[in-house]
Amino acid sequence: MNITEQIRQFLANSSKNSLSPEELAAGLGLQKSADYKRLVQTLAVMEHDGSLVFTKKGKIQLPPENVLLEGTFRGNERGFGFVHYDDEEEDIYISKEHTGYAMDGDTVAVDILAVADPFKQKGPEGKVVEVRKRGFTQLVGEFTLFSEEEIAETDLYGVVKPKDKKLAAFQIFVAAEGIRPVDGSVVQVEITHYPEKGYGTSLEGLVTSVLGHKNDPGMDILSIVVAHGIPMEFPEDVLKQADQVPDAIDPTAFPERRDLRDQTVVTIDGADAKDLDDAVTVHKLANGNYFLGVHIADVSYYVTEDSPLDREAFERGTSVYLTDRVIPMIPHRLSNGICSLNPKVPRLTMSCEMEIDPQGKVVHHEIFQSIIQTTERMTYTSVNEILEDRNPETMERYQALVSMFETMAELHEILTAMRERRGAVSFEDREAQVVVDEVGHPEAILLRSRGVGEKLIESFMLAANETVAEHFNKRRLPFLYRIHEEPKEDKLRRFFDFAATLGLVIKTTKGSITPTDLKRIVEEVADKPESFVVNTMLLRSMQQAKYSEVNYGHYGLGAEYYTHFTSPIRRYPDLIVHRLIRAYGKDSSKENQEKWAEKLPEIAVHSSQMERRAVDCEREVDGMKKAEYMAAHIGEEFEGIVSSVVRFGLFVELPNTIEGMIHITNLKQDYFHFMETQLALVGERTGVTFKIGQKVKVKVTKADPVTQEIDFELVEAEEVTPIVRQENRKRRRSREKNQRNNRKKGNFKDQGKTKEKPGKGKEKSGKGKKNAGFTQSGKSGKKPNGKKGAKKPFYKGVKKKGK
């Protein structure tokens, strides 16, 4: 062992944190003059290379271990990003200079450069020191073919413009190997080289498949689906298993199931629904209570554990509902066939029957396997015509069922009142429907209306989900829950600060914020102009719901127990809940419980991830179609409302939910300051104020379906009470000087820029849609050079073009 190793080992094994040179020399037996001189020389070298450090008192110690945090990098189109490493901790801001060539979705190791400073409302900052796992290996985009001369010179077929907006700043080169697409093809590329030093904005890959041509009908949606990694086709073994499932059942073959075919049971769905997975029945009991039967398609009977169907359903996690198509979790033969509760044919179901008192409490319940035969296939429209419009023709057609629907409406009101009493926070969704023609072009954007028919089915499904969750929780059996945790304190605090600017006083219950407290706020402003503002901000303060093997309750519903039991055709967690019901009905042994306790955490995490993937895909398709729709309305004026205010401008939402941006550089009348706590832009000279909830009229100036960007120009705005800015004299004079200089130049070039350190008050990528897709194109303009002797270049000498 050399002297360096002896020093390290002695310091590591010492009971003291630091030692003087004399103590170290004595400990190593190096007290002779020559030995001591050698020790001092070695210590100097070790200090220089960082393998030891000297304290302020001249003592020696090993350097502190560099503790790295591992998390997921979320990149922003502007180059910076955030790393999420713990649900309970604030994300780490990563500046553009410190990304270490990490890309969105990568698993990275981060060194903390600056800890969070809550007093300055500043989060932690870090530096990516290692990319440990790439978040994606494939991408989808539009291919541009090089000329024959360029191909020969560069050994590349061409370049791909990626569909993913977060890759807009990258050039994707296609190696001249394998598939050679035609110009304009939409292709899938397998990445072979990622960004590195000297090639920070470049990737290289091979074309693995050609999805079609960019002008083919439906190619726009298909490319988004593939880009999100959502499979379009089922594997052969999955289809083979589905084909083996019979088209009908013989009820006599299931003597162990409870036969409910004599009950009056109906499905109530949208008119275009084909996968009918829930049916209901309601009647009044002699004791004044209500009987509610919720019968769910027993998909788990056909999708057996560890079968090809089961493995594929797990991987997909959920069905994906897009503008003009559905990508099912299980093959159509099952989802629209034997598993669908089609009218007047026997079907296998999992039933939850409940007795509910006039206060909405479930006083008795049973959960069991059953057989039903629905009496009628009802639509929401028909039920609404009976209960709301009292349409004579519809009531005559369904005369035998009208009384049951009226009882359903009564029970729905009781259940709604019960949830309101316990503090469920209710937000009225504004969901849009994109109407497209036969080739997929959007013809209209319509608001979906929700009548009593939609709402009563929702009430009954909530009741069944809660009842099933409570049943298994109280039996202390491993189970899968749908949880919604309490809002994080920092987000609630920002909401409280914002509410205070509107004069709202937040009352708490015993020092903590309950759903009832938040519900009280929503009710207080329900009939006021600021209702939209408060609802929007409160919704943003909430956490996302997810799946978990641990029951944390559902904060938004005010429910102590909650799961997903009612949609097993389209959600894998529901299928698992059915499988658990069957499994525990046969065997609740310790061994079986241990088996499920081990499996459920992975199922919960993966299901949550697949749900997020589906939601992102659905939103991207909606955003593209809305931009495509607005592209036909350039120059037209619309009335809307300010839905969000950020440092770089205003987002305006139209009544049909289409949202566009007025960039701060296009607000020419003044120099505007962003007031973060009040979410407003305030003019420096005029005091003109723009804030959330303000009515405006806008003109459409740009709509790009590729980037999903819609730009507006302000035509006029509702007058609102100005917000008085508080600014110190020195800073104001500096601002005024800059403004005078800009006026002399005849522009507002510095408008929207900030001298503050990046990361302060920035919107986090992926934390909401409000700042997504409204930035510069991110073109680097750099051309790869492929110098000789360099590490294997991606681009092998491209000189003429860096498309």
For residue range 554-577, list pLDDT tens digits in order.
999 999 999 999 999 999 999 999
Is 290 part of a structural domain of the chain? yes
Given a contact cutoff of 8 angstroms between Cβ atoms, the answer to whether 759 and 80 are in contact is yes
Given a contact cutoff of 8 angstroms between Cβ atoms, the answer to whether 375 and 266 are in contact is yes
Is 202 part of a structural domain of the chain? no
Residue 675 backbone dihedrals phi, psi, to 5 degrees:
-100, 100
Which of 133, 150, 182 is the last residue in one of the domains? 133
- Tell me which H or E stretch contains 436: strand 432-436
User: Would you state the structure tokens that stand for residue 439, as one six-digit string?
Assistant: 């080739």
Residues 453 and 573 in one domain: yes
Looking up residue 82, the CATH number of its domain turns out to be 2.40.50.140
If pLDDT is split at 50, 70 and 90, which confidence band does 801 have? very low
Residues 660 and 742 in one domain: yes
pTM of the entire structure?
Answer: 0.78
Q: How many CB atoms lie within 10 A of CB 511?
A: 5
User: Would you state the structure tokens that stand for residue 750, as one six-digit string?
Assistant: 């510095």
Which of 41, 61, 81 is the last residue in one of the domains? 61
Question: What is the rounded average pLDDT of the residues 373-381?
Answer: 97
Terminal C-alpha separation, the chain: 57
Question: What is the rounded average pLDDT of the residues 324-345?
Answer: 95
If pLDDT is split at 50, 70 and 90, which confidence band does 706 have? confident
Is 685 part of a structural domain of the chain? yes
Residue 158 has pLDDT above 90, yes or no: yes
Residues 294 and 349 in one domain: yes
Considering 62-76, 434-448, 558-572, 766-780, the range whose residues carry the highest mean pLDDT is 558-572
Is 153 part of a structural domain of the chain? no
Is 379 part of a structural domain of the chain? yes
Residues 345 and 408 in one domain: yes
CA 83, chain centre distance (Å): 15
Residue 312 has pLDDT above 60, yes or no: yes
User: What pLDDT, on the 0 to 100 scale, is given for residue 494?
Assistant: 77
Given a contact cutoff of 8 angstroms between Cβ atoms, the answer to whether 173 and 204 are in contact is yes
Which of 98, 133, 168 is the last residue in one of the domains? 133
CA 668, chain centre distance (Å): 35
Please state the domain count of the chain: 5
DSSP bridge pairs for 196? 199
User: Would you state the structure tokens that stand for residue 387, as one six-digit string?
Assistant: 């209960």
pLDDT 10s digits, 211-223: 999 989 899 999 9
| Residue % of the chain over a pLDDT of 90 | 60
Residue 773 has pLDDT above 70, yes or no: no
Residues 458 and 510 in one domain: no
Residues 416 and 289 in one domain: yes
User: What pLDDT, on the 0 to 100 scale, is given for residue 1?
Assistant: 65
Alpha helices in 640-789 (DSSP H): 729-745
Render 599-664 in DSSP notation, one character per residue.
HHHHHHHHHHHHHHHHHHHHHHHHHHHHHHHHGGGTT-EEEEEEEEEETTEEEEE-TTS-EEEEEG
How far from 608 is each of 129, 180, 549, 571, 612, CA to CA, in Å? 29, 38, 12, 11, 6
Q: What counts of helices (H) and strands (E) characterise the chain?
A: 19, 33
Q: Enumerate residues 6+ apart whose C-beta is below 8 A from 281.
A: 263, 264, 265, 266, 291, 292, 293, 295, 404
The C-alpha atoms of residue 445 and residue 655 are separated, in whole angstroms, by 10
If pLDDT is split at 50, 70 and 90, which confidence band does 117 have? confident
pLDDT 10s digits, 633-672: 999 999 999 988 989 999 999 999 999 999 999 998 899 9
User: Would you state the structure tokens that stand for residue 454, as one six-digit string?
Assistant: 């939609």
Question: What is the rounded average pLDDT of the residues 133-154?
Answer: 94
The C-alpha atoms of residue 414 and residue 423 are separated, in whole angstroms, by 15
User: What pLDDT, on the 0 to 100 scale, is given for residue 295?
Assistant: 98
| Residue spans of beta strands (DSSP E) within 231-345 | 258-259, 266-269, 278-284, 290-297, 320-321, 326-327
pLDDT 10s digits, 717-767: 998 888 776 654 445 566 666 666 665 555 544 454 444 434 444 333 333
User: Would you state the structure tokens that stand for residue 625, as one six-digit string?
Assistant: 């179609």
Range of the domain at 116: 69-133
The C-alpha atoms of residue 214 and residue 224 are separated, in whole angstroms, by 12
DSSP state letter for 334 = I
| Residue spans of beta strands (DSSP E) within 489-631 | 546-548
User: What pLDDT, on the 0 to 100 scale, is given for residue 755?
Assistant: 40
User: What pLDDT, on the 0 to 100 scale, is given for residue 324?
Assistant: 86
pLDDT 10s digits, 227-248: 899 999 999 999 999 999 999 9
How far from 84 is each of 108, 110, 386, CA to CA, in Å? 10, 10, 50
User: What pLDDT, on the 0 to 100 scale, is given for residue 26?
Assistant: 87
How far from 654 is each of 12, 413, 434, 711, CA to CA, in Å? 66, 32, 14, 12
Is 640 part of a structural domain of the chain? yes
Dihedral over Cα of 284, 286, 289, 293: its sign: negative
User: What pLDDT, on the 0 to 100 scale, is given for residue 732?
Assistant: 57
Query: Which amino acid type is present at position 33?
Result: S
CA contacts within 13 A on the Cβ side of 448: 13
The C-alpha atoms of residue 340 and residue 275 are separated, in whole angstroms, by 5
Q: State whether residue 180 is helix, strand or coil.
A: coil
Question: What is the rounded average pLDDT of the residues 32-37?
Answer: 82
The C-alpha atoms of residue 117 and residue 536 are separated, in whole angstroms, by 27
Is 179 part of a structural domain of the chain? no
Q: How many CB atoms lie within 10 A of CB 776?
A: 9
Residues 125 and 26 in one domain: no
The C-alpha atoms of residue 567 and residue 273 are separated, in whole angstroms, by 13
Question: What is the rounded average pLDDT of the residues 371-389?
Answer: 97
Residue 791 has pLDDT above 70, yes or no: no
If pLDDT is split at 50, 70 and 90, which confidence band does 799 have? very low
User: Would you state the structure tokens that stand for residue 714, as one six-digit string?
Assistant: 């302000």
How far from 200 is each of 96, 105, 107, 780, 782, CA to CA, in Å? 11, 17, 18, 10, 10
| Residue spans of beta strands (DSSP E) within 194-277 | 202-213, 258-259, 266-269
Residue 794 has pLDDT above 70, yes or no: no
User: What pLDDT, on the 0 to 100 scale, is given for residue 742?
Assistant: 62
Instruction: Encode 335-393 in three state secondary structure.
Output: HHHHCCCCCCCEEEEEEEEEEECCCCCEEEEEEEEEEEECCEEEEHHHHHHHHHHCCHH
Question: What is the rounded average pLDDT of the residues 82-108?
Answer: 90
pLDDT 10s digits, 404-444: 999 999 999 999 999 999 888 876 667 889 999 988 999 99
User: What pLDDT, on the 0 to 100 scale, is given for residue 427?
Assistant: 67
Residues 611 and 638 in one domain: no
User: Nearest-5° angle of CA 308, CA 313, CA 315?
Assistant: 95
If pLDDT is split at 50, 70 and 90, which confidence band does 52 have? confident
| Residue % of the chain over a pLDDT of 70 | 88
Dihedral over Cα of 73, 74, 75, 80: its sign: negative
Least confident of 25-39, 359-373, 510-524, 636-650: 510-524
User: What pLDDT, on the 0 to 100 scale, is given for residue 290?
Assistant: 98
Looking up residue 39, the CATH number of its domain turns out to be 1.10.10.10
Given a contact cutoff of 8 angstroms between Cβ atoms, the answer to whether 367 and 277 are in contact is no
Residues 528 and 670 in one domain: no
Q: How many CB atoms lie within 10 A of CB 360?
A: 20
pLDDT 10s digits, 462-486: 999 999 999 999 999 999 999 999 8
Residues 473 and 567 in one domain: yes
Is 720 part of a structural domain of the chain? yes
Least confident of 47-61, 124-138, 603-617: 47-61
Residues 711 and 588 in one domain: no
Packing angle between helix 308-316 and helix 572-586, nearest 10 degrees? Answer: 130
pLDDT 10s digits, 656-665: 999 999 999 9
Q: Strand 125-133 relative to strand 92-94: parallel, antiparallel, unpaired? A: parallel
Residues 430 and 568 in one domain: yes
Given a contact cutoff of 8 angstroms between Cβ atoms, the answer to whether 294 and 352 are in contact is yes
